[in-house]
Structure formats: structure tokens, C-alpha cells
Amino acid sequence: MRHVSIAIMMPSALASAGITAILRSVPDLPCSVAELRNESYLEDLARIRPSLLIVDPVSAVRWDAVKSPSSSPVKIIAVLFQQMPKEQLRWFDDTVSIYDSVETIIETVKRNIRTEDDDDKGKDLSPREKEVIVGIVKGLSNKEIASEMNVSVNTVMTHRRNIASKLHIHTPAGLTIYAIVSNLVKLEDIKPDMGKL
């Protein structure tokens, strides 16, 4: 396995030291571990460009900025100290609990480490997923996209989940930037009142 850069952002020194020790104990995981400070996390992320970010999900962080398409793609694992509602975990690619075994934590980290294949993100989007992106960018609802594609709303929702998983983009604004850069849409195709999304 190639060398990977991992960043940790935890308010607890004990949790941060414990995770760092676990990561450094894995012989087949050559990694460098850096701790980020809450007050300069965006600058630190831009400087370090980690493949993986391990965080306390209740940190006062703008997760949308961390996951924006303009930042380098980073997977985020949330360390849960307690149960959290699913909607509060939408920004995270995976979770571990402080009660998980070391083996489970290591397996989760390895599963989320970005590979060179991830650098080609978007190349494995299906034509139908690209159609869904275009519909989202045009400001269409799931129902309108389904009608245009002649599929069910559930199918559109499945495509949206797959798109988010493949691209690691979780907002309509992020998909809009992706669609423009990837030449899926022209600037004039975008609905002017995107604020309602």
C-alpha cells in the first residue's frame, strides 16, 4: 500500500492520541498523521491535502466547505462518542464508535483511504447518472427528473445516492460546478434562481 496522509481533528487530546497510536501500529498502513487546529482547519487541509480526515462530528466546522469540490477531495470518518441522528452524519463518508474494536477502526480507515482510482472520479458515472446531474443542475425536482427520464422517483433517488458516493459531492452547488467543469451543461442552461435548492 502506498504512503497516505491522514489528518485528525479532535477537541480531545486523549482521543487524538489514541487514534494516532492505532494508525501508527498498523504495519501495512504507511501513513503520516497530522493534527488540525479548529481555528485554521481549512488552511491546514489545503496545505496537508490528506487522503483521509478523522473528526469529531460535533466540532464547530463548516463541513460543506471541507467537502466542496474546490477543495481537494477528502474522505471523512466521524468518530462517534454517542449516538447521533442520521441527518447529522450526511457529510461523513463513514463512522466509527469509540466502543469499536481496533480491528474495526483499522478496517474502516483502510476502506476509506483514497486510491489513485479515486483521482479519476466521475469517469465511472453511468449515462443515466449524468442525466440526473443535469436535471439537478437545471433546478428540477426528483419527480420532474423522473418524468423526464421516464423512470420512478425511487430510481432517481438511487442515482442521486450513487452520484454522491462516486463523486463525494453532496450539494446541488457542488454538482453544478462539477457539471460545468465536466461539460455536462453550459452556463446558460443553469436555472437562474438556484437559491431555492
Task: Render pLDDT for 6-25 as a digit per residue (tens, 0 to 9).
Answer: 899 988 889 999 999 998 88
pLDDT in tens, 147-173: 999 999 999 999 999 998 888 888 888
Owner of C-alpha cell 471523512: 76
What is the C-alpha to C-alpha distance for residues 173 and 175, in angstroms, rounded to an integer? 5
| Strands ordered across the beta sheet of 52-55 | 31-35, 4-9, 52-55, 75-80, 94-97
pLDDT at residue 49 tops 80: yes
Plot region of 5 (φ>0 → left; ψ -120 to 50 → alpha; else → beta) = beta
Sequence-distant (≥ 6) Cβ neighbours of residue 126 within 8 angstroms: 159
pLDDT value for 103: 92
Annotate 61-121 with DSSP letters as a single string: --HHHHT-TTSPP-EEEEEESS---GGGGTT-SEEEETTS-HHHHHHHHHHH---GGGGGT
Q: Which of 7-16, 110-119, 170-179 has the lowest mean pLDDT?
A: 110-119
- More confident of the two residues 133 and 173: 133
pLDDT value for 132: 93
Q: Where are the domains of the chain?
A: 4-120, 127-196
Q: Indicate the fold that domain 127-196 takes in CATH.
A: Arc Repressor Mutant, subunit A (1.10.10)
pLDDT value for 40: 80
Instruction: Name the pTM for this structure.
Output: 0.56
Give me the amino acid identity at 136: I
Residue 78 · residue 89 · CB < 8 Å: yes
Which CA distances in Å does 156 have to 110, 132, 150?
Answer: 30, 7, 10
The dotted CATH code for 4-120 is: 3.40.50.2300
